[in-house]
Chains A and B, each alone.
Chain A
């Protein structure tokens, strides 16, 4: 039988596809925001942690992940970026194929883990791995600093998903810590971006190569 979790997880996988397929920054941010909402709602559907604290915690992460972080980045690009297009190093067809390969590979690797907590959610591990590697792919494939940040957030979503499998109370603390780190990171990024922008008139990271000397 199909669990609700699996449907949510398929949506997560779909959001990775969308993030690969889109080449406009605003769309990419929306996709990552959507992904944040879906990922942080996963524990609600898992059903093993429905205390008031758990729900409140999940809603808080949802708020940060789905609203605050995307909003921060959106405001940042409003301020600094001139161009809305992010040009990936790879082409559209290549990224589609890469996505397919990613899904297959993560399904393979996900099957290797044999954690008792996730045994009734066949999709959880593959999705988490797809998020991690997908984020890596975004990081690698883009020259634009903001797109790279988004890739980093995607990886963080993956880590969060792995975290949900450990259903102990300590995970909240660890999770929250990571999330705050990311939030701080995003803030710092906004500042640095402005500096890069002032210096180079663009946010293309390949320009940083000139700092080598």
Chain B
């Protein structure tokens, strides 16, 4: 435990030093990056060690005699700590060249301060072992990430995004607090772990409240509205951390509550599974319709959270229906997908950050042809896209494969459960196809073809510290895809922290499975090598000419004639038009020699569309009716205070 606290202290020290060093820009960045990176390394070492140990580590401090601050790190926490420290390490390194605005040293310093606080608070959230500690860390996490979102506060849309995020994270926290409050009502203790006193109905209510609260952090549909606003607003390494790991703390919360309640009803599994399917499909459909690269990636996070929830839901149904293998496959797949998503999503956000850094634009339809000049960014982005589409031999496939196996294990169940599992399999297949469409769109339009605007011309890639984390993450994507065994075992260790009520999962099927994946990937690479060799042979001594693209007889092509991302996605979006209404503005073409014309399209998010009508307006109307309380007369306010004191006296 000491190593853990030491690493937290090192991380926070780096952040706190930043504002004092803001006169020396490079020195400040070096100090912050080094201390955060070193702290993360230390934490990573500790978490890795703790993951394999069967006993959990516990530490407790008294605070004001009434409250104890307790931390406990079991296998589940350790798994999340690996994610948190690992990704934060790379994000910190990435930030060194990414935060390049030397003219705004103070803003950068504040960014580092809150970045370090965010990393530390995330680590504390997963380590917390009672309600007080948990909520305390949770609030620090929400607040520090809020300040990171409004880093570029000069832009109005960023301030709005921050405001939206603030509201969402606090309404979510309110739900979580309600869930904990009900728990406290029954147990009379702040400690995690004494839930036997709860009745079954109370357990279900607690789970539902906690699911809404944690779901709003994780970005579960329809509580995901803040995600596509906040992620583009934040700097890229922050988006990587937020999307890669911070939203996973929501999943951690769901898993932790599930473990605490220790109540195996099919209701939990069904709730999680259905939420997962809806988030998965709608998330990727909305992603397909976006025009902004980072917004697209944010929606894709909603989709991946959906996949993770499908895995976890399958696991929960497996537990409640007494199928150990189904539970093991589902939970392990979900956990591994969490790791995988953290890796490829932060890789993609870092790639998007590099694109923004070099071209100054994130509009998908304004870019193009970047692969020619930005070979490393493009290459790693390609690997990230392949991995996030769940294709072999990359890491996304391994976790989706496990979830599929879990689903198929569950097809033997009775009707109701069978129907939802059938739908889960089909939605996983549809999600896979849509993700492929979405990321071929991104890669094809942003990195391939010709530059669509002057911003995308003549770019280059600079910044060694930005490239190193991307290369490392891309390497891990392939590593997990080809040699998944160690990582699957790591996920199984993490799953052992979830109270499934079964004996520890049999490792044998996993070992065989990962062996098969490794073998199949190796054979695939061998075939590729043979084909490449054949290609070299066939081309030896041949004439190779270069000319323009065949325009089907048209000899004056311009870059504007390229297929855009909008048109690429149009037909698929039309298929889903009920769930993703499309608004189009087209000024039309008139006459034989038309003048300028314009076209705009926007895919509406139904959750966002109805949030106003269903929640915001009624709440505002209610508050408008309570306006009389705020009288403006200071004497009345003093009266309120007096009243409050008297009421309190009666209660205590």
Q: Which residues of A contact B419 (CB under 8 A)?
A: 104
> Scoring A residues 90 to 113 as 1 if CB is less than 8 Å from chain B, else 0, what string do you get?
000110000000001000100100
When C-beta atoms are compared, the residue in chain A nearest to B575 turns out to be A93
Expressed in whole angstroms, the minimum distance between the Cβ of A198 and any Cβ of chain B is 39
Residues of A at the B interface (CB closer than 8 Å) are: 93-94, 104, 108, 111
When C-beta atoms are compared, the residue in chain B nearest to A93 turns out to be B575
Q: Which residues of B contact A108 (CB under 8 A)?
A: 415
Q: Which residues of B contact A93 (CB under 8 A)?
A: 575
When C-beta atoms are compared, the residue in chain A nearest to B576 turns out to be A93
When C-beta atoms are compared, the residue in chain B nearest to A107 turns out to be B415
Residues of chain B from 538 to 590 with CB closer than 8 A to chain A in the complex: 575, 578
Instruction: Sort A-B residue pairs by CB-CB distance and give the 5 closest, nearest first.
Output: A104-B419, A108-B415, A93-B575, A111-B415, A94-B578
For this complex, 5 residue pairs linking A to B, each with C-beta atoms less than 8 Å apart, are: A93-B575, A94-B578, A104-B419, A108-B415, A111-B415
Residues of chain B from 594 to 643 with CB closer than 8 A to chain A in the complex: none
When C-beta atoms are compared, the residue in chain B nearest to A91 turns out to be B578
> Scoring B residues 39 to 58 as 1 if CB is less than 8 Å from chain A, else 0, what string do you get?
00000000000000000000
Distance of A104 Cα from B415 Cα, bound (Å):
10
Expressed in whole angstroms, the minimum distance between the Cβ of A213 and any Cβ of chain B is 35
Distance of A94 Cα from B579 Cα, bound (Å):
12
DSSP class of B's interface residues: helix, strand, loop or mixed? helix
Q: Which residues of A contact B578 (CB under 8 A)?
A: 94
Q: Which residues of B contact A104 (CB under 8 A)?
A: 419
Expressed in whole angstroms, the minimum distance between the Cβ of A122 and any Cβ of chain B is 13
Expressed in whole angstroms, the minimum distance between the Cβ of A114 and any Cβ of chain B is 15
Distance of A124 Cα from B578 Cα, bound (Å):
34
Expressed in whole angstroms, the minimum distance between the Cβ of A107 and any Cβ of chain B is 8
Q: Which residues of A contact B575 (CB under 8 A)?
A: 93
Expressed in whole angstroms, the minimum distance between the Cβ of B7 and any Cβ of chain A is 52
Distance of A143 Cα from B530 Cα, bound (Å):
62
Distance of A104 Cα from B418 Cα, bound (Å):
12
Distance of A94 Cα from B575 Cα, bound (Å):
10
Distance of A104 Cα from B419 Cα, bound (Å):
9
Distance of A62 Cα from B575 Cα, bound (Å):
40
Q: Which residues of B contact A94 (CB under 8 A)?
A: 578
Expressed in whole angstroms, the minimum distance between the Cβ of A54 and any Cβ of chain B is 36
Expressed in whole angstroms, the minimum distance between the Cβ of B423 and any Cβ of chain A is 10
Expressed in whole angstroms, the minimum distance between the Cβ of A204 and any Cβ of chain B is 25
> Scoring B residues 407 to 431 as 1 if CB is less than 8 Å from chain A, else 0, what string do you get?
0000000010001000000000000
Expressed in whole angstroms, the minimum distance between the Cβ of A172 and any Cβ of chain B is 36
Expressed in whole angstroms, the minimum distance between the Cβ of A81 and any Cβ of chain B is 30
Expressed in whole angstroms, the minimum distance between the Cβ of B324 and any Cβ of chain A is 28
Distance of A108 Cα from B575 Cα, bound (Å):
29
Distance of A186 Cα from B415 Cα, bound (Å):
40
Distance of A111 Cα from B578 Cα, bound (Å):
32
When C-beta atoms are compared, the residue in chain B nearest to A111 turns out to be B415
Distance of A108 Cα from B416 Cα, bound (Å):
9
Distance of A185 Cα from B415 Cα, bound (Å):
40
Distance of A93 Cα from B575 Cα, bound (Å):
8
Distance of A108 Cα from B415 Cα, bound (Å):
8
Expressed in whole angstroms, the minimum distance between the Cβ of B19 and any Cβ of chain A is 57
Q: Which residues of B contact A111 (CB under 8 A)?
A: 415
When C-beta atoms are compared, the residue in chain B nearest to A94 turns out to be B578
Distance of A93 Cα from B576 Cα, bound (Å):
10
Distance of A94 Cα from B415 Cα, bound (Å):
24
Expressed in whole angstroms, the minimum distance between the Cβ of A176 and any Cβ of chain B is 37
Q: Which residues of A contact B415 (CB under 8 A)?
A: 108, 111
When C-beta atoms are compared, the residue in chain A nearest to B416 turns out to be A108
Distance of A111 Cα from B414 Cα, bound (Å):
13
When C-beta atoms are compared, the residue in chain B nearest to A104 turns out to be B419
Expressed in whole angstroms, the minimum distance between the Cβ of A129 and any Cβ of chain B is 15
Distance of A94 Cα from B577 Cα, bound (Å):
11
Expressed in whole angstroms, the minimum distance between the Cβ of B572 and any Cβ of chain A is 13
Distance of A154 Cα from B283 Cα, bound (Å):
40
Distance of A43 Cα from B419 Cα, bound (Å):
32
When C-beta atoms are compared, the residue in chain A nearest to B422 turns out to be A104
Expressed in whole angstroms, the minimum distance between the Cβ of A95 and any Cβ of chain B is 13
Distance of A108 Cα from B578 Cα, bound (Å):
27
Expressed in whole angstroms, the minimum distance between the Cβ of B84 and any Cβ of chain A is 41
Expressed in whole angstroms, the minimum distance between the Cβ of A191 and any Cβ of chain B is 40
Expressed in whole angstroms, the minimum distance between the Cβ of B302 and any Cβ of chain A is 23
Distance of A87 Cα from B335 Cα, bound (Å):
48
Expressed in whole angstroms, the minimum distance between the Cβ of A106 and any Cβ of chain B is 13
> Scoring B residues 58 to 87 as 1 if CB is less than 8 Å from chain A, else 0, what string do you get?
000000000000000000000000000000
Distance of A104 Cα from B423 Cα, bound (Å):
12
Expressed in whole angstroms, the minimum distance between the Cβ of B240 and any Cβ of chain A is 37
Expressed in whole angstroms, the minimum distance between the Cβ of A125 and any Cβ of chain B is 15
Expressed in whole angstroms, the minimum distance between the Cβ of A88 and any Cβ of chain B is 15
Distance of A93 Cα from B415 Cα, bound (Å):
25
Distance of A111 Cα from B415 Cα, bound (Å):
10
Residues of chain B from 451 to 481 with CB closer than 8 A to chain A in the complex: none
Expressed in whole angstroms, the minimum distance between the Cβ of B352 and any Cβ of chain A is 33
Distance of A181 Cα from B575 Cα, bound (Å):
43
Expressed in whole angstroms, the minimum distance between the Cβ of A135 and any Cβ of chain B is 24
Expressed in whole angstroms, the minimum distance between the Cβ of B402 and any Cβ of chain A is 27
Residues of chain B from 508 to 549 with CB closer than 8 A to chain A in the complex: none
Most buried by B among A93, A94, A111: A93
Expressed in whole angstroms, the minimum distance between the Cβ of B564 and any Cβ of chain A is 25
Expressed in whole angstroms, the minimum distance between the Cβ of B170 and any Cβ of chain A is 38
Residues of chain B from 70 to 121 with CB closer than 8 A to chain A in the complex: none
